[in-house]
């Protein structure tokens, strides 16, 4: 437990980095790989068939989602205490923004559960035929996907605040903080693109570029924590420096 007691220590930083890497690995599996193998856009019947024939993979994706949430809670808590000496207010706001994101992620799992029940337990809605059950399961999965666009708004705020704290702390390379702030808008643009302007090609290219920047910055931050830890930077109880 000693490793959790000193937010300025190397062990604390490395644990935070481990949770961050865990989020990246489990999240990539749950958000990117599993849907690519299960969900067939525009064909809910085939999607339901995939859930039934590849149940282990589908359930592994749900388990990975749960792992992401556990890692997120640990990471946001540790980041809060790590940056609290820099600015207690901004560090708390960053933690609340990330916690709001996790709350949305948790709610999204109910749609996974609904799709699973429709696929595996047709007797629960016996008045529906197979096509209707498949359509409803497809709707649940689309609502789950829409949840991603909702939590990305909270994550945008978190990354802007985190980048600001990284810059002010002087414990990490400035390029990481700048990349987090600049690239964060990629998540917001991705939500806007998906909800309002799916045919705006320029917007799609811009959000892809910004997402590449923020992804690289997040991975760099996680690896820096894991390998290098953190320098002393701003002393404890010192007010936030002007950037």
Contact present, 59 and 37 (Cβ < 8 Å): no
pLDDT band at 241 (very low <50, low <70, confident <90, very high): very low
For 97-122, the pLDDT digits (tens) are: 999 999 999 999 999 889 988 888 88
pLDDT band at 213 (very low <50, low <70, confident <90, very high): very high
Average pLDDT score, the chain: 90
Q: Which two tokens stand for residue 12?
A: 């604390």
Is the pLDDT score of 238 beyond 70?
Answer: no
Q: Which position has the token pair 């990330």?
A: 98
CA-to-CA distance for 191 and 157, rounded, in angstroms? Answer: 13
pLDDT, position 87: 96
């Amino acid at each position: 437990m000693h490793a959790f007691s000193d937010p300025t220590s190397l062990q604390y930083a490395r644990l935070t980095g481990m949770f961050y890497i865990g989020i990246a690995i489990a999240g990539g599996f749950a958000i990117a790989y599993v849907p690519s193998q299960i969900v067939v856009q525009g064909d809910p019947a085939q999607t339901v068939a995939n859930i039934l024939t590849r149940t282990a993979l589908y359930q592994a994706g749900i388990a990975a989602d749960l792992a992401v949430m556990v890692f997120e809670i640990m990471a946001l808590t540790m980041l809060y205490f790590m940056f609290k000496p820099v600015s207690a207010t901004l560090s708390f706001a960053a933690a609340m923004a990330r916690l709001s994101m996790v709350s949305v992620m948790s709610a999204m799992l109910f749609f996974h559960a609904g799709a699973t029940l429709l696929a595996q337990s047709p007797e629960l809605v016996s008045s529906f035929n197979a096509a209707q059950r498949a359509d409803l399961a497809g709707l649940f999965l689309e609502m789950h996907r829409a949840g991603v666009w909702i939590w990305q708004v909270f994550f945008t705020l978190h990354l802007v605040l985190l980048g600001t704290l990284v810059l002010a702390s002087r414990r990490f390379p400035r390029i990481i903080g700048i990349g987090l702030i600049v690239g964060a808008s990629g998540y917001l643009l991705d939500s806007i693109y998906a909800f309002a302007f799916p045919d705006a090609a320029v917007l799609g290219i811009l959000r892809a570029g910004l997402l590449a920047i923020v992804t690289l910055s997040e991975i760099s931050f996680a690896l820096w924590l894991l390998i290098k830890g953190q320098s002393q930077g701003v002393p404890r109880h010192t007010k936030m420096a002007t950037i």
